[in-house]
Amino acid sequence: MIAAVAAGVLVAASGVSLGLWASSDGDGSPAGSTAASAGQTPGGRDEEGAAPGKSPSPSPSRTYPLSKAPRTIPSVRDHTAERGPGWRPAKDHRVVVTDPALADEGRLIAGELGLAYAGEKGDRRDGDLRLELNRGSGANPESYTMTVRGGRVTVTAPAEAGVFYGTRTLKQEIKGAGTAPEGVVRDEPAKQRRGLMLDTARKFYTAGWIEDRIRELGDLKYNEIGLHFSDDQGFRIASDSHPEIVSEQHLTKAQVKKIVDLAASRHITVVPEIDSPGHLGAVIAAHPDLQLRNAGGGAVRGAIDISDPGSAEIVDDLLNEYAGLFPGGQWHLGADEYQALVVSDPEASFPGLAAAARDKYGPDATVEDLTTGWLNDRAATVRAHDRTPRAWNDGFFRGGSVPAAKDIQVAYWTGKEIGARPPVEYLSEGRKVINYNDEFLYYVLGEPLTFVYPTGERIYEQWTPLVLRGTTPVPDRYDAQILGGSFAVWGDIPRAQTQDQVAAGIRLPLAATVQKLWDPDRPELSWAQFRALADKVD
């Protein structure tokens, strides 16, 4: 965070470690080397109006106070202050790009600020907003440098995502204060995964509503939106391979493609989730022969019989089909709350599963082993499409004959479920973890069980990515294994809130969550200041 102003430079507080920055200040000048930062006006005069070495004399040149760091959500991580008027958009200003890959980012910010999009131009004009790539910098691809100097703005980054985030900072500066302050912003996220997950299976959300959330997420520098579109209550995306399982209320593939394309334009990955082998009630409704039954012949709600080859066939059909619809590199496999494992003796209660486990993995294998084998097989299916798999933490078990594949990331949500272990157990195994802490980040419609709607204030003041379970952080040494976090909206009582109420309810929690994912240190602003800022830049 910004700690002090010294010699015209805002100094980062101790303990903040930032990676390689995207570039120099945009015009080849080192930070703080301009006449303005040395206490001179842009015309080369000192603050008394005299040229260097001459007696003071009246001058029409203006002097400016040292700039203050911009206020944005999430806050920028470093700002070098300079003296100057800053920059505000005008109709005759241009957006210029140095690479055709930045056309989307250029056109978007031009439209938002009312500027002319000029495409690729070599000349420089007063008022220009210039977007540049510095692909060979070796920096974090989500980092960027934004220089406001001499009546122009330059955003430079090693990849398109960084340039986009620079334009989001500029947009918020203009919306909140009217002017981008003179100086240099150097910024990058602390965590690489910053997400919102939507349970669209139990509560149907329209395509337009999801698109609005993507625009909101993009402006906040989120880079994931998860769609949990299959559960006991519904299957919400059209299917060509198994149309019989699709709910009446669903998204068409054309609608999903539009969502995916909009997300990509905001550098957001859509992460699909078909939760198995539990939570497959909508699939089982069309294929009752695949439902798991206990030793007494009783049907187990939502659970598919993983000893039946037909179960793997239908789930793999769906995973393979949707790989073409969701091109992003992430895939959520679910794996939580398989009801065969919530009884005291799974082998006695489900002898068919126990026999299948022994046949496949040896005489000492258990139902847990068979379930882990199912997860590994589904991970192999999505891995063949170059996807990185993740699964809920209670889908990973201690011991056993069959370990979960090492590349399956842990979506840690709770310690309350059977099979859930303390976060350090997963981390000590070397696993990568994404924080979905249900104590802070779960927005469960209707507030069933012990859930209460999370508040932005509590997230802002008490949560960090290290707080994976409950309210206690894991040791700092595991920080690099925690890839990021995700706020989650669950539809347990779907009619408890309308779409508009959900959007309003998650607005401040989303702002607070991304602030702590971008920079987990104690925020500079109080909660009251942060909330007021959110109202300005929203």
Side-chain half-sphere of 476: how many Cα atoms within 13 Å?
A: 3
In whole angstroms, give the CA distance from residue 537 to residue 533: 6
* Bridge partners, 410 (sequence order): 391, 433
Could you please report the per-residue DSSP string of 407-464? TPEEEE--SSSTT---HHHHHHTT--EEE--TTTSEEETT--TT-----HHHHHHH--
In whole angstroms, give the CA distance from residue 301 to residue 109: 49
SS3 state of residue 89: coil
In whole angstroms, give the CA distance from residue 31 to residue 9: 9
DSSP state of 30: P
In whole angstroms, give the CA distance from residue 193 to residue 163: 18
Q: Identify residue 66 by its one-letter amino acid code.
A: L
Q: Which of 402, 409, 437 is nearest to 422 (CA)?
A: 437
In whole angstroms, give the CA distance from residue 182 to residue 169: 14
In whole angstroms, give the CA distance from residue 408 to residue 341: 20
How many other C-beta atoms are found inside a 10 Å radius of the C-beta of residue 186?
A: 24
Written as six digits, the tokens of 110 are 């031009």
Instruction: With beta carbons less than 8 A apart as the criterion, state whether 495 and 201 touch.
Output: no
In whole angstroms, give the CA distance from residue 77 to residue 161: 17
Annotated catalytic residue, options 132, 337, 368, 439: 337
Q: Which of 490, 481, 388 is nearest to 435 (CA)?
A: 481
Backbone angles phi, psi at 106, to 5 degrees: -65, -45
Residue located via tokens 């001459």:
54
Instruction: With beta carbons less than 8 A apart as the criterion, state whether 147 and 82 touch.
Output: no
In whole angstroms, give the CA distance from residue 490 to residue 201: 9
368 is catalytic: no
Q: Is the dihedral of CA 468, 470, 473, 475 positive or negative?
A: negative
What is the Cα 252 distance to its own chain's centre?
25
Secondary structure, 3-state, 154-223: EEEECCHHHHHHHHHHHHHHHHHHCCECCEEEEECCCCCEEEEEEECCCCCCCHHHHHHHHHHHHHCCCC
CA 413-416-417 angle, 5° bins: 85
Residue located via tokens 């699909």:
272
**Known catalytic residues?**
337
